Structure formats: C-alpha cells, structure tokens
Structure 1
Amino acid sequence: WAENNEIKADYPKEYGEAAAAMDGAEISYDNQRYAPAKTLAEEVSTTLSDDFQKKVLADRAAKIEAATQPASTPAPTPQQQASKDQAADAARAKADAAMADAQSRMAWANENGISSDYPGEYKKASAAMVDSFVSYGNGQYNTATAWAKEVSTILSDDFQAKVLADRQAAAKAAEAEQARIVAAALADIDNAQARYDWAVSENAENNYPELLGKGGSELEAAKAALSAEDYKGASDKARAALVSLSGIKAFAPLPEKYVVRLIPARRDCLWRIAEYDFIYNNPLKWPVLYEANKKTFKDPSNPDLIFPNQVLVIPSIKGETRSGTWDPKKTYNPLPKK
C-alpha cells in the first residue's frame, strides 16, 4: 500500500521507519529468528496502521478539495448558500454516477477472476474504489468522483475487451493443445496395435508369450484410458506397450537344449539331430553335440547310445544366440546349411 500510494514522498519519516523495520524483519526471518521478525513486522503494521492510511486519504482528499475552493470567502448570503448547496448536490449526483459505473466494473472484475489473472490492474482498481468510498463518506464528492473515474479508467471497456481477447486466445490454444494430445494418443495406440498385430502374425504367442502378454495388457490399459478421456495416460501406456512389443522378433531364439524324442519312423540320433534346421541344419556337425554332451551319456564312448527324454546341450557354432529348450510350437530361423 505504501509503495502504491507514494508514501515515501509525502510521509518520509513514517516510510523510513516502516522500511527499516521491514528489512530487519526479513533478515531475522531468513536467519530463523522468528521472535524478532514478528516484533519488527508488527512495528511495520503499527507505523502503516489503518488509522494512518485513513489519515493519508483524508489529508490528500482535503488538499484536492482545498484546491477547488477559493482561499477565503466571506459568509455566504442566502442566495449564495442556496447556490453552494445546489453545487454540492450536483457534485454528489456526479459522484453517484461515477461510483455506480466504477462499482459495476469492479463487479465485472470479481466475477471474471481479474484478481488472479491481472493482479496489478485489480489491485490498483480496488484501492481506488476504497478511496472513492472514503471520500464520498467524508462528503468530498469531487474527490470521490476522481477516484471512481480512476477505477473506470483501469477497468475500461478496452481493458475488458483485452481480457476477453486474451482468454479467447488462451481457450483456442488450450483447445489446439487438447486436440494435439488426443491425436498423439490415437497415433500411439495405432502404433502399438500395429506392432501387436504383427507380433501375433509372427507366432509371438508361442515365440514370446511373456512379452506378447505384457504388451497386450498395456495396450488394453491404453485403450481404457482413452475411453476415460485420460489422453496423456493413454499415450504413456501405449508407448509402454510398444516398448514391450518391440522386444518381439520375427523368430524365437534358437534353442540351447533339445530333449531326445521317441520317433518310431525316424529315430533320433546325433546325426539326425544335428541335421534339424533349428539345431545346425547340417548332419556333419553331430560331433559338436557329442563332445558337448558325452559326459552325460550312459556310455560316454558310444555316441550312438542316446535315449528318449535325454537332454542335450546345443553349443553355439556361429555366434548365434541360443536360449531355452526346443519347442515344436515355436518358429525358428534356421542356420545356413554350410
């Protein structure tokens, strides 16, 4: 209030005392000395009290009123008094009209949240409105009119039009941003869905069941968030689904283990096992299997003696990645025959 009303210029003593106490209070507070900070802050409030503020208003109103009156006049005649009363009535009527307009603009400001979006303008208009009421109550109608017009100038038709334009622009920007967020959510879900469909077409249900399940659950969660109009959540979940589904390849990793089968028409042997395209795709590689597994054979000296359900380890021979046990439901990318 003191800064807005230029108290430093008209009341330097009071302003100096209040400013010094305010500085001391802030320093004490910053140093966690709360008791002296409270005492100094109360000193500021005492110096710039409500009574002092009323005195300032009264002093200034008196100066304005005095400036509009002759320095000294003799006692008025009845005719002069009547004329003076008529002038006072006219001044009061003028103040009534000006204050009505100012109050209407303040009502608009309160209804439209101007204090939060345009705090500077609102603070000045509110202070001028208070000064107008005080002046009117003291019978200083010309001063009340001046303050009321100050309110109307601050909250002018042009200012109200600016507020409307600003808010329409903000609403349009918010609408565009919302449209962007919705479009991004739809695009993210489409990308995740496309990846999911591709994974299903590549036998991911058997090749990568865990990743397909995880990605599918995240995709359904994204769709649920979209239905609930949680577009950011939909995007986040769809992107998480895409990350999970991106771990799915066209083929399952080649197996690192093979369980010997009982096939009456074509019995498993190391030669035939090495020939499988998911093993080495080359029967001549049977010695690799033998060397890697002979310690587990019932007769380590006999490579032809293997039994159903016997587990064979399949070493990598070309740097290929291998994991898990061979599964007939999975799709493998065969090694080249050579």
Structure 2
Amino acid sequence: MKKVLFVAAALLAGSAVFSVSYKNNTYQKLADEYTKKAQNALDAGEYELSVEYSQKAEENAALSQAYIKKMLAKAEADKAMKKASDRIAFAKKISADRNFPMAYSAAEQAYASAKDVYAKEDYVAATDYANQVLAALADIREVTPLPEYYVVRPWAETKDCYWNISGRTYVYNNPLLWENLYQANKQSMPKPNDPNLIHPGMKMKIPSITGEYREGVYNPAKKYDTYSAVASSRPVVNAKPAEAKSAEPKASEAKAEPAKAEQKSAAAPEKAEPAKTEQKQGASLISNSAPASPSVSDAK
C-alpha cells in the first residue's frame, strides 16, 4: 500500500510540473483533468485508481510537451522561411538571377527543399534549408549591368579604337580581346575588312563573350563593375599576331588628305606629323610583348 501511495504521489508531482510548463492545448487539458481525478481518488483512498489516473496524466503531459516542442520548431521555421522568401524576392528585384546565377540557383534549390520538408512537418530541417537560402544570397547586391553598346568618341578625346575599348574594365578588361568587338561590328563599318576605320558616333555593340549579362549604352556617369571571365568556361577570341599586326594604328589617318586616308597605304606612317609618328612608335612597343592595337580613324 505504501508503494502504491508513493507511486501515485510521484506521478501527481510529475504531472503537476508538466501542467505548469505547458498549457492551452488538448493534451495539457487532459493531463490537468487526469491529475485532478488522481488526486480525488487518492483522497478517497482509491489508490490503484489514483495510480491509473496519474499515469494517464503523465502520458498526456508528455504528449503536450512534444506538441509544444513541435510548435516552437514550427514557429522558428516560419520565421526562417519568411526571411528566406523575402531574400529571394529581393534577389529577383535586383536581377540576382542574371548577376549572381550560381548563388541564386543554390538559393532556389534550398528554398524548394525547405518547402518540401515543411509540408511534411519536419520543421527543424525546414529551418536549416531556409538558413541555407540566406547564406547563399548573403553577398548579393544591386549591380549596374555592363553596357551592351558603346558610342565611339573622337580619338583626340578618348583614344577610342577596338584595342583600347576592349581593354576598358566595363568592356573586356583586356585589349587582346578586341577582335570580339570587330567581328560583332564589322558589317556596320564603312570598310568591313579594315578594323582601323571606325568613326566617332558609331554605336558599337559589345557582345557577351562569357555569358555575362549586358544592357543599355555605356554611360560615363555610371559606375560599372569590372568585367571578369573567371567563372566562364566558354572560349574567347584573342587577336592572332598577324591579324593584330595588320590592324596597327595608322597614325597618319587623322591628318592625311582625303585621298591618302582612303588609300590607307602602308607607307602612310612615314608622312605622318611628328606627334602622330611618335604615337605610332609608342603603339609599336606593345607589339613586342603583345599583338599591336587597331586604331580608330577620325579621317575626314
């Protein structure tokens, strides 16, 4: 009898602790109800019935504890999923799918997994996947797209030529890639076979060569990121030495008489003014270690 009383008292004490810790759910209400019945049975001397009620109170209190733990995990998952959803919405708004494709793809996959396990009520896993979304998109930012077009400006102001334009950070950041520009624009040139003959005002297309996204016309007032081909597996076109040599700057063009400018003779540099000849010599130094640069023509 003493043993039964001890067991009943212990179960009542345990169920009382649960009733204090977890409330407002069906399991806890049942635990409270059975606790009262067990106490009443104990007071009436119905010790075995009291033990039975106490056991039921303990079982329901444990179910209440599991339920509360699950709801807390769900609340945590809800918060994490909301943050992940908001971050993906922001990523879409700033075109991260174009500017940070790998990060965006990883985030979308993680979010899809989060929704899948959430539907299966695995809230701990859902929280983990949602946090993976946040980690994947942690470094994304709004980026000004690289320009798709460039309007050629006078040589005297900007030294515009395929070689120099290709070397600019917002184009290819490498003058050796000038032929990509030439091939994309040659059909709109006065003389398609002469890469030297580009005129101020010409709207030059800058083709995407490594899958980079480009849009709009170059605006010197905007700040562009530096082009990088690191993430690309596509080959780019480098100028062959012989081709680049044939496209060397003909410095005399800007000052040549109309007939001479049209001829583009190989002897033209000899008739160039001193300043222009000096320019040609400076350009020729490049050919010692790299293909020579093609020039822009401001020929009249």
- TM-score normalized with structure 2 length: 0.39
- TM-score normalized with structure 1 length: 0.35
Report which structure shows greater RCO (CA 8 Å, sep ≥6).
2
**Which one has the bigger helix percentage?**
1
Greater Rg by CA: 1
